[in-house]
Amino acid sequence: MCGIVAYVGKQEALPVIIKGLKRLEYRGYDSAGVALLNDAGLNVYKKKGKVSELENFIESNPNLHSHIGIGHTRWATHGEPNDANAHPHYSASENFAMIHNGIIENYEVLKTDLINKGYTFHSDTDSEVFINFIEDIYQNNNCSLEEAVRLALHKIVGAYAIVLMNKEEPDTLIAARKGSPLVIGVGEDEFFLASDATPIVEYTNQVVYLDDYEIAVIRDAKLQIKTIENVETHPYINKLDMELEAIEKGGYEHFMLKEINEQPRSIADCMRGRLDSRAGRLILGGLRDYMNKFQNADRIIITACGTSWHAGLVAEYLFEEFARVPVEVEYASEFRYRNPVINSRDFVIAISQSGETADTLAAIELAKQKGATIFGVCNVVGSSIARATHAGSYTHAGPEIGVASTKAFTAQISVLSMMALMLGYQRGTLPESKYMELLSELEAIPAKVEKALKLNEQIERIAAQYKDARNFLYLGRGYNFPVALEGALKLKEISYIHAEGYPAAEMKHGPIALIDEEMPVVFIATQDSSYEKVVSNIQEVKARKGKIIAVVTEGDQTVRKMADHVIEIPRAHEAFVPLISVLPLQQLSYHIAVMRGCNVDQPRNLAKSVTVE
Ligand code: M6R
C-alpha cells in the first residue's frame, strides 16, 4: 500500500525516482508525485493516476534538475484518488515536503488541534496532518527538523514509513518507520530509500533495513540512525540477493504471465539445498533451533490472508495427514480480534508473500504475547514478518510483482510440504519407506509443473469461450478444495468476474441453485481419494446443464465423457497435486482478464502488499 522512493547523491534524482516508482507501482497506482529541491526551490509535482501520467504532466517543466528528491505512488486510504490527495505533501510554510506510507490513526484529533491553531488543509489525507504536526512542533520548539520529527513520532499513533525534505537543507533526507517497510540503499556517496529493494538493486547491493522506531538522517553523504529515544544505533549493512532481471518482464507481456511460467524454477529454487530424495535428506535451516517445539507442539495454528491463507489450508491437510497434529487455519484479520485461545505449546505459522501484511503482523504480535512460537513462511527477504517471527523459512520464489499471487502460492506450499514431511518423520507418524517415497514425489514436482504449463494454448481457447461469463463456480474436494478457492480468487481479482470457490460436496447445500446453461463450473477432479465423489458432483451439474471445465489427471476417460472441456495435468501424489492443479486456473484467469482488457498486473482497487488493517 503506497510505494515510496527517495534519492540523494551525485545522479539526477528524477530519473532514479521515476524508475523506482514504476517498480513500486504494484503497491498502489491511484496517484503519483515527486518533490525536487534546486535553485527554483522545493517543488512538488503530483498527479492522479499512474506514474506515466505524472511523467506526461512534468514533461516540459524546465526545473527538474536536482540531486535530491522524494517520490510516492499511492493506494488511497484517506481521501479519494485525486491530485490534491497525492503525495508528496507540503507543510503549511512549504519549507518541508513529505512522503508517507501507512495510516495515522489519531490524525483527526491532531487535525482538529491544528485547525484550532489556524492551519488549513489542502487534502483529505492523514499524511498532510502528519507533516503539519511536525512543522508545528518545529516552530514551537525552535528545534531542528530531525528533532521535530522525533518529538512528533512520540505522539503519532499508527503505521508509517516517511521521508522528509527541508528547503533549507539541500543535502539532507530524514526518514523514519514504524509498521511500514523502509529500505536504505547505500551507494558511493549516494543513498536510495524505498519501500522495498526493487528500486535500489540496479544501483547497489548494500542495504540497511530500517527498524521500527528508528529515524535515519542522511546528511552530507553520511547515514546516521537513531531510535526515537535519541540513542544512536549502528546500521547493519545487508547484501542484497536479488538480480535485476528478476524484477523485469523479460519479454513477457505481463509480470503475472512471467511469474506463472517461472514456477518450475521457483519451486525447484525453493527445494534447492533443502531436499535430496536420494540421500533421504530434508533440511530447513530455519527449523533447526525450533524443531523440538515444532515436534512437541500440541497444535499448529496457521495464520495468513488471501492467497497465503489458501496455501495455509493446503498445509492443514498436509500436517494432519503426515504428522497427525491438529491444525487450525485462521484469517489473520479474524484471529486477532476474537480473543483466541493460544498457549505456549502452540506452534504458529504465519504465511506471507510480502512479509508486510498488516493483519498478519498483528496476529503474530498477539500470538507472541501469549507465548506461542511463531514461524514465518515469507517470500520477501528482510520483510517485517520475516523479522517479527522467532524463526522461518523463505520461499525463495524471487520477486513477485503481479498483484495476483501465483508463484508465491506454489512456493509457500512447497515449504509447507517440506515442513509437514519433516514433522511426520520426526514424530514417527510417517514410516521411513513412505517418507522416502514422498520425498521423491515432491522432488519430481518441478518437472510436472513444467509439463502442465504447456497446456497454455488449450486454456487460452477455453478462456475465449467464457470471457463474457458473469459468474463462475470453482469446485474441488480434499487437497483441491483450497485450489478451488484460489482459482476463484484469481479470476475475480483480475477479471472482475464474480467467482465462488466451494468444496464440491457443499454445492448441493446452496450453490447448486445457481446452475443453469449460462454457468461455467470449474471442477478440479484429479484421481485422488475423493475422485468418485467429485465425479458424482460433476453429474449433478451436468444434469442441470451447467458448462463443465474439468481439470483431471492425464488419461482420465470418465470425466471426459461428461465435461465440456477437460484439462489433463500430470499425475502426482494427491498431497502435492495443488502444486500442479492450480496452474491451469492461474492461466485461465490470466487469459480471461487479458481478453476482457483488464489491467492484469495492477487490478483496480488492489495493491500488492496490504499494509493497512
Ligand atoms: O503478502 P501476503 O501474502 O501476506 O498477501 C496476502 C494477500 O493480500 C494476497 O495473497 C492477496 O490475496 C493476493 N492479491 C492474491 O492474489
Q: Which residues have C-beta within 8 Å of that of residue 381, sequence separation ≥ 6?
A: 241, 394
Kindly state the cell numbers that stand for 518. 449460462
CB 537 within 8 A of CB 523: yes
Beta bridge partners of 300: 327, 347
Per-residue pLDDT band for 512 (boundaries 50, 70, 90) equals: confident
Average pLDDT over residues 256-271: 97
Phi-psi region of 240 (alpha: psi -120 to 50; beta: other; left: phi over 0): beta
Beta bridge partners of 324: none
Helix 578-595 and helix 445-452: axis angle, to 10°? 30
What is the per-residue pLDDT across 277-296, written as a single tens digit (0 to 9) for each? 999 999 999 999 999 999 99
What pTM value is reported for the model?
0.85
Distance, in Å, from the CA atom of 34 to the CA atom of 499, rounded to the nearest integer, reads: 39
Would the pLDDT of 611 be above 80? no
Best residue among 351, 353, 600 to mutate for probing ligand 1, ranked by most atoms within 8 Å of CB: 353
- Which is the closest atom of ligand 1 to the Cα of 408? 3
CB 125 within 8 A of CB 89: yes
3-class DSSP state of 121 = coil
Residue range(s) in the chain whose domain bears CATH number 3.40.50.10490: 255-443, 450-603
3-class DSSP state of 341 = coil
Residue-level pLDDT at 184:
97
CB 216 within 8 A of CB 203: no
Sheet holding 31-38, edge to edge: 41-48, 31-38, 68-74, 3-8, 191-194, 183-186, 206-209, 238-239
Residue closest by Cα to atom 12 of ligand 1: 306
- Which is the closest atom of ligand 1 to the Cα of 404? 16
Best residue among 589, 610, 612 to mutate for probing ligand 1, ranked by most atoms within 8 Å of CB: 610
CA of 488 to the centre of ligand 1 (A): 14
Distance, in Å, from the CA atom of 265 to the CA atom of 288, rounded to the nearest integer, reads: 25
Residue-level pLDDT at 306:
97
CB 340 within 8 A of CB 292: no
Taking the CA of residue 76 as centre, how many other CA atoms within 13 Å lie in the half-sphere pointing to its CB?
A: 18
Kindly state the cell numbers that stand for 599. 489491467
- Residue 210 is given by DSSP the state P
CA of 78 to the centre of ligand 1 (A): 22
Distance, in Å, from the CA atom of 192 to the CA atom of 8, rounded to the nearest integer, reads: 7
Residue-level pLDDT at 26:
85
Kindly state the cell numbers that stand for 517. 446453461
Distance, in Å, from the CA atom of 362 to the CA atom of 374, rounded to the nearest integer, reads: 12
User: Chain centroid to CA 415: how far?
Assistant: 17
Average pLDDT over residues 462-489: 97
Residue-level pLDDT at 130:
97
What is the per-residue pLDDT across 177-196, written as a single tens digit (0 to 9) for each? 998 899 999 999 999 999 99
Distance, in Å, from the CA atom of 361 to the CA atom of 12, rounded to the nearest integer, reads: 37
Average pLDDT over residues 466-471: 96
Residue closest by Cα to atom 9 of ligand 1: 306
**Nearest Cα to Cα of residue 351 among 318, 378, 320, 332:** 378
Residue range(s) in the chain whose domain bears CATH number 3.60.20.10: 3-245
Q: What is the amino acid identity at position 265?
A: R
CA of 404 to the centre of ligand 1 (A): 7
- Which is the closest atom of ligand 1 to the Cα of 412? 3
User: Chain centroid to CA 176: how far?
Assistant: 22
Residue closest by Cα to atom 4 of ligand 1: 352
CA of 207 to the centre of ligand 1 (A): 25
Q: What would the CATH number be for the domain defined by 255-443?
A: 3.40.50.10490
**Nearest Cα to Cα of residue 30 among 69, 3, 12:** 3
Residue closest by Cα to atom 8 of ligand 1: 306
What is the per-residue pLDDT across 119-137, written as a single tens digit (0 to 9) for each? 999 999 999 999 999 999 9
Q: DSSP secondary structure string, 64-109?
A: ---SEEEEEEE--SSS-SSTTTSSPEE-TTSSEEEEEEEEETTHHH
**Nearest Cα to Cα of residue 482 among 503, 507, 506:** 503
Cell match 499425475: residue? 571
Best residue among 196, 259, 305, 483 to mutate for probing ligand 1, ranked by most atoms within 8 Å of CB: 305
Would the pLDDT of 606 be above 90? no
- Which is the closest atom of ligand 1 to the Cα of 385? 4
Per-residue pLDDT band for 231 (boundaries 50, 70, 90) equals: very high
Q: DSSP secondary structure string, 414-466?
A: HHHHHHHHHHHHHHT-S-HHHHHHHHHHHHTHHHHHHHHGGGHHHHHHHHHHH
- Which is the closest atom of ligand 1 to the Cα of 405? 16
Per-residue pLDDT band for 610 (boundaries 50, 70, 90) equals: confident
Average pLDDT, rounded, for the chain:
95
Kindly state the cell numbers that stand for 285. 535451516
Distance, in Å, from the CA atom of 103 to the CA atom of 97, rounded to the nearest integer, reads: 17
Average pLDDT over residues 69-75: 95
Distance, in Å, from the CA atom of 581 to the CA atom of 587, rounded to the nearest integer, reads: 11
Q: What would the CATH number be for the domain defined by 450-603?
A: 3.40.50.10490
Q: Is the domain 3-245 a CATH 3.30.200.20 member?
A: no
Residue-level pLDDT at 613:
73
Residue-level pLDDT at 245:
82
Distance, in Å, from the CA atom of 525 to the CA atom of 531, rounded to the nearest integer, reads: 6
Residue closest by Cα to atom 14 of ligand 1: 404
Residue closest by Cα to atom 11 of ligand 1: 306
Per-residue pLDDT band for 203 (boundaries 50, 70, 90) equals: very high
Average pLDDT over residues 234-256: 88
3-class DSSP state of 413 = helix
3-class DSSP state of 283 = coil
CA of 460 to the centre of ligand 1 (A): 25
- Which is the closest atom of ligand 1 to the Cα of 606? 14
Per-residue pLDDT band for 421 (boundaries 50, 70, 90) equals: very high
- Which is the closest atom of ligand 1 to the Cα of 357? 4
Average pLDDT over residues 29-55: 95
Distance, in Å, from the CA atom of 564 to the CA atom of 584, rounded to the nearest integer, reads: 16
Average pLDDT over residues 329-350: 93
Reply yes or no: is the peptide bond before residue 88 cis, omega within 30 of 0: yes
Residues whose beta carbon lies within 6 Å of some atom of ligand 1: 305-308, 352-354, 357, 360, 403-405, 489, 493, 609-610
Q: What is the amino acid identity at position 613?
A: E
CA of 486 to the centre of ligand 1 (A): 11
Q: Which residues of 350-381 are buried (b: 16+ CB within 10 A; e: fewer)?
A: bbbbbbbbbbbbbbbebbbeeebbbbbbbbbb
Kindly state the cell numbers that stand for 384. 517485517
Best residue among 254, 308, 582 to mutate for probing ligand 1, ranked by most atoms within 8 Å of CB: 308
Average pLDDT over residues 376-396: 94
Kindly state the cell numbers that stand for 113. 488541534
CA of 608 to the centre of ligand 1 (A): 7
Average pLDDT over residues 290-304: 96
Virtual CA dihedral for 134, 135, 136, 141, nearest 10 degrees? 90
Could you list the active site residues? 2, 608
CB 314 within 8 A of CB 480: no
CA of 124 to the centre of ligand 1 (A): 27
Lowest mean pLDDT among 79-83, 445-449, 502-506, 594-598: 79-83
Q: DSSP secondary structure string, 171-189?
A: EEEEEEEEBS--EEEE-SS
Per-residue pLDDT band for 247 (boundaries 50, 70, 90) equals: confident
Average pLDDT over residues 201-216: 95
User: Chain centroid to CA 55: how far?
Assistant: 27
CA of 354 to the centre of ligand 1 (A): 8
Backbone angles phi, psi at 499, to 5 degrees: -140, 145
Reply yes or no: is the peptide bond before residue 170 cis, omega within 30 of 0: no
Identify the sign of the CA torsion 508, 510, 511, 513: positive
Would the pLDDT of 508 be above 90? no
